[in-house]
């Protein structure tokens, strides 16, 4: 098995000892993270402890070991794979300033092959220059310059809308309530609504006169109030979590009607009335047609960068409505829009360009404060746009049961700056905040398969920062899952026991992902404690996806029919005996407890709802398969959900095959570690669930009730699904016969 690697180094407090520390500022380039002469040593053995230093490591080539498993050979014997217990160390040389240079992992120095003579080397360089393909980096960088230096104040503004600095400086918004639609805008929106609606209300038309007698508020062709309602809810519910729109420079009259209409529809998706839901589903097909035609008509190669950015913003908003409808309405065209949008964005280089370096170079040439503020706000909007597309890729790939579109070969996520700067109502306030200590430095998370780096962040960051990192990790996880598990016919079931991380550890491109997920909580535990609870829920789900094959659990719940269900439940029996299964149950219980304390102000995105569904399947299947052990003398009373768990202590427990030299692992003073190692009763929020079908059904009912309470109307299918799975939970005899039971 491939050895696990974890970078060790100084803690943030040590790293920032010589610089200014504050909640609202990131470490800047002149703050050395490590002394320039130091090297970080990565041992191939099991790391003894974790710390809060930035994570940077490279993958170990274990392709032959993975090939051995696929061919059914015992590890390493057929292909001559070296032993996994190698004790080599890898040295990471740091740059002169200790922070700014890219860190690379190099193997121990070995005598290399003799160099070719100089005349041969010169001839090879001629071959290289003749053979080389044109570099795209220069073209992509130029496009990025043109995008962020566009003429409009806001990326939502039409690309043909010329901004006036004087008028723009006079137009400032104190808050969402002051953003209103004038009669001309409402008229344009109403005309578009009439052209899109296939079903009209039955009230008499009155040439623009609003009818007070019509009881179909949303469908009525004369009703104008829904647009004010939709825009307000967009700004109040959607924008705080997905802050693509820079409110201080937002002018509704400068936004294309189709984009503004889509924004209003997003706002209406938060309305929990039957008519509002019907209206969204009714208008979605026609709106999708309009958006799709406009997006694909703007080719990145022939259109201006500002026009391309405008269409990507439009497509991004339509993808939210696609998630709301769960891909059930016009699934083929919806999937085409999803694929085209993500592919076009990737071809522009927005998922791997060094945005921070390009932005710094641009700012150095701008002296006017207002132009600097406007350009900076456009960059921040695009950062959030990219993070939103990462989030949609990780979600929609699950909805359509496909691998993510985004390539993980070079995946860099440039994170947003201090959110207080983004909310600054004017250029003067923005400059004042910078003078008071806020910084426009741009941290970047690198999550390519051969390079992983998690930057140090302040103690308090906006939710979009954490969404950006977790979404990128989730994209990598899902890409690995589809490539190595879904698309592979794996053998040696008794060895891998349907544990995803064990399979990933044998692949060069996937081996580092487990350490990335583990180190995430080591580095950001304090930040997560102060952040929106949805963020910690998503991290628990990442651990769930590493320790449990969710597709296998879906088949065991009946997704592919009764025959596949019976086969899958037999496979789950093999998985349920492992420490990885017990760790999966621990994360599932923590998700249940976190969302049990959900508050409306937290919001309920599509990711947490899916996490709750995954948790229900994992815990229910584990409980169904695992009867309680007959010997409970040493069992601790440990509530998996409500216990305060120190994940630094848990570390990689249940995510590694390391066994101590003494053989059997000892009991510890930490109940969570003991549960992962030795098991115990499933206790959630004071309720004990013993093994068997009856308690598995009760678990499903508890999860379904919670989803009913915290979910939105478009999540209603999740609890319904759990109620249906409830009826498939039956005990199995040793010989495979069904033994019925009732709850």
- Choose the weakest-confidence range: 194-203, 244-253, 315-324: 194-203
pLDDT confidence band for 553 (50 / 70 / 90): very high
Q: Which residue has the higher pLDDT, 157 or 262?
A: 262
What DSSP designation does 507 have? S
Q: Which residue has the higher pLDDT, 107 or 548?
A: 548
pLDDT at 292: 96
- pLDDT tens for each residue of 289-314: 999 999 998 766 666 777 888 899 99
pLDDT at 98: 34
| % of the chain exceeding 90 in pLDDT | 45
Distances (CA, A) of 14 to 22, 93, 411, 520, 521: 14, 19, 29, 19, 19
Mean predicted lDDT score pLDDT of the chain: 78
CA atoms within 13 A on the CB side of 372: 17
Q: Rounded distance, CA 682 to CA 665, Å?
A: 21
Q: Is 523's pLDDT higher than 70?
A: yes
Burial 528-560 (b: 16+ CB within 10 A, else e): beebbbbbbbbbbbbbbbbbbbbbbbbbbbbbe
Element (H, E) at 42: strand 39-43
What's the sign of the alpha-carbon dihedral 151, 154, 157, 161?
A: negative
Q: Is 29's pLDDT higher than 60?
A: no
- Choose the weakest-confidence range: 114-128, 257-271, 630-644, 669-683: 630-644
- Choose the weakest-confidence range: 498-507, 554-563, 655-664: 655-664
CA atoms within 13 A on the CB side of 441: 17
Q: Is 88's pLDDT higher than 50?
A: no
pLDDT at 659: 66
pLDDT at 200: 60
Torsion of CA 623, 627, 631, 634, to 10 degrees: 0
Of 72, 88, 271, 244, the closest CA to residue 156 belongs to 244
**pTM given for the model:** 0.80
Q: Is 320's pLDDT higher than 90?
A: yes
Average pLDDT over residues 633-648: 83
Average pLDDT over residues 272-284: 89
pLDDT at 691: 87
Q: Is 209's pLDDT higher than 90?
A: no
| Block residue for tokens 């005990």 | 731
Q: Is 110's pLDDT higher than 70?
A: no
pLDDT at 119: 85
Quick count: other Cβ atoms within 10 Å of Cβ 97?
13
pLDDT at 663: 61
pLDDT at 112: 53
Average pLDDT over residues 591-605: 85
| % of the chain exceeding 70 in pLDDT | 72
Radius of gyration of the CA atoms of the chain, in A = 27
- pLDDT tens for each residue of 117-165: 888 888 888 887 787 655 555 556 676 777 766 667 788 887 555 444 4
Q: Rounded distance, CA 287 to CA 280, Å?
A: 10
Whether residue 729 contacts residue 739, with contact meaning beta carbons closer than 8 Å, is answered with: no
Average pLDDT over residues 522-539: 93
Element (H, E) at 126: helix 118-131
Whether residue 34 contacts residue 15, with contact meaning beta carbons closer than 8 Å, is answered with: yes
pLDDT at 338: 97
pLDDT at 583: 97
Q: Rounded distance, CA 404 to CA 545, Å?
A: 15
The burial class, CB within 10 Å (0-12 / 13-18 / 19+), for 624 is: buried
Whether residue 1 contacts residue 66, with contact meaning beta carbons closer than 8 Å, is answered with: no
pLDDT confidence band for 59 (50 / 70 / 90): very low
Contacts for 677-680 with beta carbons within 8 Å, 24 or more apart? Answer: 677/579, 677/582, 677/653, 678/634, 679/582, 679/626, 679/629, 680/635, 680/636, 680/638
Distances (CA, A) of 419 to 29, 334, 463, 567: 20, 32, 10, 50
Q: Rounded distance, CA 561 to CA 167, Å?
A: 63
Whether residue 383 contacts residue 414, with contact meaning beta carbons closer than 8 Å, is answered with: yes
Of 647, 576, 398, 443, the closest CA to residue 26 belongs to 443
pLDDT at 371: 87
End-to-end Cα, the chain, rounded Å: 44
pLDDT confidence band for 359 (50 / 70 / 90): confident
What are 157's strand-pairing partners?
255
Q: Is 384's pLDDT higher than 90?
A: yes
Whether residue 29 contacts residue 100, with contact meaning beta carbons closer than 8 Å, is answered with: yes
Average pLDDT over residues 57-82: 40
Q: Is 108's pLDDT higher than 50?
A: no
Q: Is 286's pLDDT higher than 80?
A: yes
Of 376, 466, 461, 479, the closest CA to residue 413 belongs to 466
- pLDDT tens for each residue of 447-502: 988 889 999 998 888 999 999 999 999 999 999 999 999 987 777 777 889 999 99
pLDDT at 158: 74
Q: Rounded distance, CA 326 to CA 305, Å?
A: 31
pLDDT confidence band for 74 (50 / 70 / 90): very low
Whether residue 711 contacts residue 607, with contact meaning beta carbons closer than 8 Å, is answered with: no
pLDDT confidence band for 206 (50 / 70 / 90): very low
In the chain, domain spans = 140-158+179-198+218-531, 555-658+666-728
Structure token digits, residue 486: 């879904």
Phi, psi dihedral angles at 252 (to 5 degrees): -55, -35
Q: Which residue has the higher pLDDT, 230 or 215?
A: 230
Q: Rounded distance, CA 159 to CA 152, Å?
A: 7
Q: Which residue has the higher pLDDT, 383 or 303?
A: 383
pLDDT confidence band for 732 (50 / 70 / 90): low
Q: Rounded distance, CA 689 to CA 695, Å?
A: 5
């Amino acid at each position: 098995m491939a050895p696990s690697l974890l970078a060790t180094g100084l803690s943030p407090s040590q790293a920032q000892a010589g610089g200014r520390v504050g909640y609202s500022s990131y470490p800047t380039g002149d703050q050395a993270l490590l002394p320039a002469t130091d090297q970080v040593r990565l041992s191939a053995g099991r790391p003894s402890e974790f710390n809060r230093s930035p994570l940077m490591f490279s993958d170990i080539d274990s392709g032959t070991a993975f090939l051995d498993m696929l061919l059914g050979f015992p590890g390493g014997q057929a292909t001559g794979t070296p032993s996994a217990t190698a004790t080599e160390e890898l040295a990471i040389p740091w740059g002169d300033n200790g922070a700014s240079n890219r860190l690379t992992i190099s193997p121990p120095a070995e005598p290399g092959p003799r160099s070719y003579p100089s005349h041969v080397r010169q001839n090879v360089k001629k071959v290289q220059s003749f053979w080389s393909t044109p570099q795209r980096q220069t073209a992509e960088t130029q496009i990025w310059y043109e995008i962020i230096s566009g003429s409009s104040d806001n990326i939502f503004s039409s690309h043909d809308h010329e901004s006036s600095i004087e008028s723009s400086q006079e137009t400032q918004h104190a808050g969402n309530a002051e953003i209103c639609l004038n009669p001309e805008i409402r008229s344009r929106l109403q005309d578009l609504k009439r052209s899109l609606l296939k079903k009209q209300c039955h009230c008499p038309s009155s040439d623009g006169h609003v009818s007070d007698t019509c009881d179909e508020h949303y469908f009525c062709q004369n009703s104008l109030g829904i647009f004010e309602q939709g825009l307000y809810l967009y700004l109040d519910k959607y924008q705080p979590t997905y802050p693509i729109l820079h409110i201080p420079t937002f002018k509704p009259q400068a936004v294309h009607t189709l984009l503004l209409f889509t924004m209003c529809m997003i706002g209406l998706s938060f309305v929990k009335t039957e008519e509002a839901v019907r209206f969204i589903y009714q208008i979605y097909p026609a709106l999708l047609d309009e958006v799709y035609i406009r997006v694909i008509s703007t080719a990145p190669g022939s259109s201006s960068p500002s026009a391309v950015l405008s269409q990507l913003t439009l497509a991004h908003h339509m993808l939210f409505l696609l998630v709301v409808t769960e891909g059930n309405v016009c699934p083929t065209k919806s999937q085409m829009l999803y694929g085209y949008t993500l592919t076009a964005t990737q071809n522009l280089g927005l998922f791997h360009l060094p945005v921070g370096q390009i932005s710094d170079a641009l700012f150095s040439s701008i002296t006017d404060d207002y132009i600097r503020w406007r350009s900076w706000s456009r960059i921040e909007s695009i950062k959030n746009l990219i993070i939103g597309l990462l989030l949609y890729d990780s979600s929609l790939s699950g909805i359509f049961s496909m691998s993510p579109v985004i390539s993980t070969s070079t995946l860099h996520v440039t994170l947003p700056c201090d959110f207080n700067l983004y909310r600054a109502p004017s250029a003067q306030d923005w400059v004042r905040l910078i003078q008071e200590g806020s910084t426009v430095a741009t941290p970047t998370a690198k999550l390519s398969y051969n390079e992983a780096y998690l930057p140090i962040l302040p103690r308090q960051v906006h939710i979009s920062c954490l969404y950006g990192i977790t979404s990128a990790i989730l994209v990598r996880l899902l890409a690995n899952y589809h490539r190595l598990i879904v698309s592979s016919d794996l053998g040696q079931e008794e060895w891998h026991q349907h544990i995803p991380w064990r399979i990933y550890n044998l692949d060069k491109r996937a081996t580092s992902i487990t350490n990335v997920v583990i180190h995430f909580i080591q580095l950001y535990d304090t930040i997560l404690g102060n952040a929106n609870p949805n963020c910690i829920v998503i991290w628990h789900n990442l651990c769930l996806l590493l320790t449990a094959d969710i597709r296998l659990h879906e088949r065991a719940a009946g997704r592919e029919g009764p025959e596949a269900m019976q086969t899958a439940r037999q496979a789950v029996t093999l998985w349920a005996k492992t420490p990885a299964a017990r760790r999966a149950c621990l994360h599932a219980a923590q998700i249940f407890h976190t969302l049990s304390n959900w508050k409306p102000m937290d919001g309920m995105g599509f990711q947490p709802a899916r996490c709750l569904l995954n948790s229900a399947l994992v815990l229910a299947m584990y409980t169904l398969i695992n009867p309680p052990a007959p010997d409970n003398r040493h069992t601790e009373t440990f509530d998996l959900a409500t216990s305060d768990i120190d994940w630094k202590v848990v570390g990689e427990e249940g995510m590694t095959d390391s066994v101590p030299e003494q053989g059997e692992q000892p009991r510890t003073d930490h109940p969570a570690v003991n549960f992962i190692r030795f098991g115990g009763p499933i206790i959630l929020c004071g309720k004990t669930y013993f093994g068997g079908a009856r308690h598995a059904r009760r678990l499903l009912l508890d999860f379904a009730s919670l989803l009913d309470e915290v979910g939105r109307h478009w999540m209603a299918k999740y609890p319904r699904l759990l109620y249906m799975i409830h009826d498939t939970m039956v005990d199995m005899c040793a010989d495979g016969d069904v033994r019925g039971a009732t709850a």
